[in-house]
Structure 1
Amino acid sequence: MPRIVCAVGLLTVLTVATVARGQAIVDNIETGFVSMFNGEDLTGWSGQPGAWHVEDGAITGESTPEKPCVASHYLYWTGGEPANFIMRCQIKLSGGNSGIQFRSEKRPNFDTFGYQADFDMDNQWSGCLFQHLRGAVVTRGTMATVLPDGTRQEEQFASMQSLVPFIKPNTFNDYEIEAVGSRVTLRLNGQLMCEVNDMDSERACRKGVIALQMHQGDPMKVQFKNLRIKLLTEESGPDTNE
């Protein structure tokens, strides 16, 4: 019996140590990040009255046949207008299209203008970088350079279709936006989706608001949770331990 007790005790110690190491790894990965959402209410966010709520710890926007969304609108984060940062969150979509605006301008009626990390139910645009007027700045599976005069150089590292299996339907997906200087990188569930070095002298976005999209059209539901951000400087760039 004493041997069994000792064995159980040792197993308990090893289990606790393993969990502690795992937590330390998580803490190290998240070093420098701050929460953008308290998980309980919309404190720190501003949007169309009555259009957004918190459900099961997630910021939620929903349209129904009885309450349609007739014009796309956005929920603004009120924590600043960052230029260089890494933002991480989880997104879940049921129907339609949504996305995360960043380096964007506020427009009347809770509209925006700027970059969007796109996400849609059919995965035509998920993992693509969108911008008003330009449409797709860079598509999924592509690394691009946009020169000051707007001309483009592109290299495809994967087909759009080959990256679809990395996107999980009907559940939360980890979305990461990394914006440093002229370079923007999007990842879904840890997989690189696209990257652009956008030096367009007229249309590149360098700083602005972050906002969550509620898209007009057919009934849909979008949820965001675990939103956090790490501010960077253009000179330092991202931490090599990220």
Structure 2
Amino acid sequence: MQRVSTTLLFELAFFAFACLVGSPAQAAESEPGFTSMFNGKDLAGWDGKEGWWYVEDGAITSQSTPEKPCIKCNYLIWQGGKPGDFELRLKYRIVGGNSGIQFRSQMRPDWDTYGYQADIDAAGQWAGALFEHARGGIAMRGQRVVVDENGKKQVTSLGDSAELMKHIKKEDWNEYCITARGSEITLAINGVVMSQAVDREKGKAARDGIIGLQVHPGPPMKIQFKDLRIKVFDQAKP
């Protein structure tokens, strides 16, 4: 795997600093261009499967238990549009299991989705990775991946996956920053760039779509999200 250039490292450091400066302690209205996606009180502006999503202590919450297991993925869908180019900031906390944030995705029946996902994983394997339902892991934590029109990948390193994982707090609140502009997608957690992709594959690289929050099947788990806000940009040329 090739090493990333000094110039790219500088650009990534600048991007991470921008995400960190826009801390969740600031209200969306104090961040120029950002719009709040969640009122902190109820699920107004969101739609999900009854009985699976609720607000607890000011956070959007979903939980699976031995008595109420999650047997298939389902999503809470934001009703604010289908943004293409944007920066999304939020806080998440996960205890057990796996979750994620869908974006530029398609809606499917029964609150299912299909598309890009900024991954969240309590075990660490997928945390900070860019996943997509048709192609699996596009860029794992520590990777910058360029996908050409035919689906061929060129992979360079952003850093050691295990070292990057140390920046993610276990069973505590973490800040996720997702930036999508044209073909380029960057995922950062707690101000540290975790993965990046330039996706140009014909017929598979989506340029807009829904945003959703995931509860994943498997062992008992709890996922929470708060301080969600988005800044939508003018659509970049492909």
The TM-score normalised by the length of structure 1 is 0.85
| Cα pair 1:120 1:126 within 8 Å, conserved | yes
Task: Judge conservation of contact 1:180–1:233 (CA < 8 Å) in 2.
Answer: no
**1:143-169 CA distances to partner (integer Å, 9 max, x unpaired)?**
111000001111112121110110001
1:3 counterpart residue number: none
- Cα distance in 2 for partners of 1:175, 1:29 equals 18
Whether 1:230 aligns to 2:231 is: yes
Structure 1 distance, partners of 2:110, 2:227, is 26
Per the alignment, residue 67 of structure 2 pairs with: 66
Q: Secondary structure at the match of 2:197?
A: strand
Q: Per residue, is there more helix in 1 or in 2?
A: 1
Q: Give the equivalent residue in structure 1 for 2:160.
A: 159
**2:69 & 2:26 partners in 1: Cα distance?**
40
How far apart are the structure 1 equivalents of 2:61 and 2:67? 17
Contact 2:85 2:236 in 1 (8 A): no
Aligned residue type for 2:193: L
SS in structure 1 of the partner of residue 166 of structure 2: helix
Q: Conserved in 1, the CA contact under 8 Å of 2:115 and 2:134?
A: no
Distance 2:44 2:98 in 1: 25
Tell me the equivalent position of 1:189: 190
Task: Show structure 1 runs of 5+ residues with no match.
Answer: 1-22, 237-242
Q: Residue deviations 1:28-70, cap 9 Å, x none?
A: 9721100000000000000001110000000000011111111
What residue is the counterpart of 1:93 in the other structure? Answer: 94
Q: Which runs of 4+ in 1 moved over 3 A?
A: 25-29
Please give the alpha-carbon distance, in whole angstroms, between the structure 1 residues aligned to 2:176 and 2:108: 25
Q: 1:143 to 1:103 in 2, by over 3 A?
A: same
Which residue number corresponds to residue 206 of structure 1? 207
Quick one: distance in 2 between partners of 1:203 and 1:36?
Answer: 27
Counterpart contact for 1:32–1:230, Cα < 8 Å: yes
Aligned residues: 213
Q: Is residue 86–residue 177 contact of structure 1 (8 Å, CA) maintained in 2?
A: yes
Structure 1 counterpart of 2:71, which letter?
A: V
The residue number in structure 2 matching 1:7 is none
Alpha-carbon distance between aligned partners in 2 of 1:30 and 1:140, rounded to the nearest angstrom:
28
Identity of aligned residues (%): 48
Q: Secondary structure at the match of 2:224?
A: strand
Deviations 1:197-235 (A, max 9, x none): 100002111100000000011111000000000000134
* Counterpart position of 1:8: none
The 1:86–1:95 alpha-carbon spacing in structure 2 relative to 1, beyond 3 Å, is same
Residues of 1 paired with 2:26 and 2:227: CA distance?
Answer: 14
Which residues in structure 2 correspond to 1:77-226 (within 5 Å)? 77-226=78-227
Q: Does 1:75 align with 2:71?
A: no
Is the contact made by 1:61 and 1:223 (CA closer than 8 Å) also made in structure 2?
Answer: yes
Structure 1 CA distance for aligned equivalents of residues 39 and 26 of structure 2: 19
Other-structure match for 1:47: 48
Q: How far apart, CA to CA, are the structure 1 residues paired with 2:186 and 2:206?
A: 14
Distance in 2 (alpha carbons) for counterparts of 1:29 and 1:124: 35
